[in-house]
Amino acid sequence: MENRAEGSVMRVIARIHTDFPEKFGIPRQSGLVSRLKGEIVFEPEFRRVEALYGIEEYSHLWLIWEFSAAKREKWSATVYPPRLGGREKRGVFATRSPFRPNAIGLSCVKLEEVIRTGQDAPKLIVSGVDMLDGTPVYDIKPYLPYADAYPQAAGGFGQAHREDGIEVVFPGELLQRLPADKQEAACEVLAQDPRAAYNKQPDYVYGMTFAGYDIRFRIEDGVLRVCDVIPADGAGFEKIK
């Protein structure tokens, strides 16, 4: 049978701007950190007010987007989900791993505001985001509770590890270096334990770039302790000298 989809191209309709210039620290699912906000800016061709008529009737939206920083030439049939400690395999189609045959992501976000005037308008402000700054968005669809929510559905290992996290100690004098409207979100992001499953060594200082700052932390006795907050200049992690 002819593969009619072969060679088809999806068009980027918008890009979302978030507080994450790097992958490290981004929540592994949408909605895990409700205070994280993003601004959806449409590409000029799709920057049409009439395309958003009625969107305020919905509290939540589905975003279909691209894992633009996680592309690979080849795909693997199995992956090691972080929620399983990076030690157990699952089939790629039984996970939400970014390393897929097509690097497509799906997120449910809360619609906070529709901006219809001003530079680059119309724009959407959403919360509960889990995307890199500048992520291309392919489509936006309303979330329909009657069709999209199944409270009794089985959630597999993802649901079983929904509450996983780590205790965070963020000294007040360091927390105050962040803008006031970013402080609670930063604490919630850290509580998700942003470390990769394969890199949880106690002799490291990690750096998470967030909202223009490099938040540096280490893990001591199972507790995440923030040790510095400085203006971002290319974060990541570094081994303690």
Question: From CA 195, how far away is CA 178, in angstroms rounded?
Answer: 21
Per-residue pLDDT tens over the stretch 185-222: 999 999 999 987 666 677 789 999 999 999 999 999 98
> Model-level pTM?
0.87
| pLDDT on residue 63 | 98
Indicate if the alpha-carbon torsion angle 174, 180, 186, 187 is positive or negative: positive
CB of 206 closer than 8 Å to CB of 216: yes
Fold match, 14-148 / 165-239: no
CATH of range 165-239; options 3.40.50.1970, 3.90.1150.10, 3.10.20.740, 3.30.2310.20: 3.30.2310.20
Return the CATH fold of 14-148: Elongation Factor Tu (Ef-tu); domain 3 (2.40.30)
Per-residue pLDDT tens over the stretch 133-155: 999 999 999 999 999 998 888 87
Domain boundaries, the chain: 14-148, 165-239
